[in-house]
Every structure is written in C-alpha cells, then in structure tokens.
C-alpha cells in the first residue's frame, strides 16, 4: 500500500500543475507604498509576503506585472535589524525580480525552486505573465500530507523520543 502511494506521489508531483494547489490571491502593493502600509496589508490578510507590482490596478482590475517581493524576513533583516524608517517606500527594501513559476509548472518544479532558493513563497504567473497567486511552503506541505495523512497526523510531537516510564496508573 505504501509503495503504491509513493509511486503515485512520485508520478503526480511531476505532473500536477501548481495551479492545482490552494494558491492564495496575492497581497499586491505598488513600489511607492510605504513599508508600514505593506506590513499592515500583509497583517490584515494573514500572509507572509506582499508582491510588488508595477501597477496593482483597482478593484476588479487584474494585477500588474511582478517587479519584486517583500517578505516578513525582509522586514526583519532590512528594516528592524537596521533601524530603518517604516515610512520608506517598499521599492527600496524589496527583493527585486523574484523567482516565480508558471501556473502550468509542476509541483516538483515549485519544490525545487523553493528548496534551491530557500524561499517560503513563490509567485504564480498566468499565461500573460501576470500574477495569479502565491504558493507557500505550507501549501506544498498540505499537498504532500494528502498522500500520507495517517503517517503524518499520527506522529507524536517528538517522533524519536523514548517514553521514560509508562503513563497513567
């Protein structure tokens, strides 16, 4: 049974498109937005990154083209650690030209990009190279857990820990 699941996973991770994952709509901001505004937007949406687009568009308009990404890690390393002003425009502290993946790219491609670059978030682009979502490390983990739910959900908090004594009376 486990061997069949592993074969299915190995096959599907190569063929399943990233668009099949539960991508979130992006938290889109513009380059002139302040870091304080961007962090408020990220907090309000409960996300760990904001995509900086050349034209975020209005309500109902498609977002513009991706020019950068700003993450929680960027905030800590480039603002807090350096004592910089949060009124600074995000374009000065974003990661420019971030790696991204096409919506038709495979889950394996996303895993390899994220692992190779140590990314926790990967922008997903549609056929017109406009952002359609963000895949997070959490989305990848949920995808993988679907193949082995019993093995994952039944793990003790510390799997290799030995019980020093019997519990109970």
Between CA 64 and CA 55 the distance in angstroms is 5
Instruction: Give the DSSP H/E element, type plus range, for residue 122.
Output: strand 121-125
Which domains are assigned to the chain? 13-150 (3.10.580.10)
3-state secondary structure of 89: strand
Beta bridge partners of 28: 51
User: If residue 113 lies in a helix (H) or strand (E), which one and from where to where?
Assistant: helix 107-117
Digit-coded pLDDT (tens) for 81-126: 999 999 999 999 999 999 999 999 999 999 999 999 999 999 999 9
Contact status, residue 92 vs residue 32, Cβ threshold 8 Å: no
CA-to-CA distance for 106 and 11, rounded, in angstroms? Answer: 11
pTM to 2 decimal places = 0.79
Are 90 and 82 a contacting pair, CB within 8 Å?
Answer: no
Q: 57-92, pLDDT tens digit by residue? A: 555 555 578 999 999 999 999 999 999 999 999 999
The stretch 39-46 carries a mean pLDDT of: 96
């Amino acid at each position: 049974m486990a061997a069949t699941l592993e074969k299915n996973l190995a096959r599907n991770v190569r063929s399943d498109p990233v668009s099949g994952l539960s991508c979130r709509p992006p938290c889109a901001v513009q380059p002139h937005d302040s870091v304080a505004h961007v962090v408020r937007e990220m907090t309000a949406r409960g996300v760990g990154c904001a995509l900086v687009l050349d034209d975020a568009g209005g309500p109902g308009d498609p977002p513009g083209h991706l020019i950068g990404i700003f993450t929680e890690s960027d905030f800590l390393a480039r603002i807090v650690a350096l004592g910089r002003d949060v009124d600074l425009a995000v374009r000065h502290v974003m990661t420019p030209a971030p790696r991204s993946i096409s919506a038709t790219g495979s889950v394996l491609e996303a895993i390899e990009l994220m692992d190779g670059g140590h990314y926790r978030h990967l922008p997903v682009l549609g056929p017109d190279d406009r952002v359609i979502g963000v895949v997070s490390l959490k989305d990848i983990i949920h995808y993988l857990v679907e193949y082995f739910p019993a093995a994952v959900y039944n793990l003790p908090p510390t799997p290799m820990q030995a019980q020093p004594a019997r519990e109970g009376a």
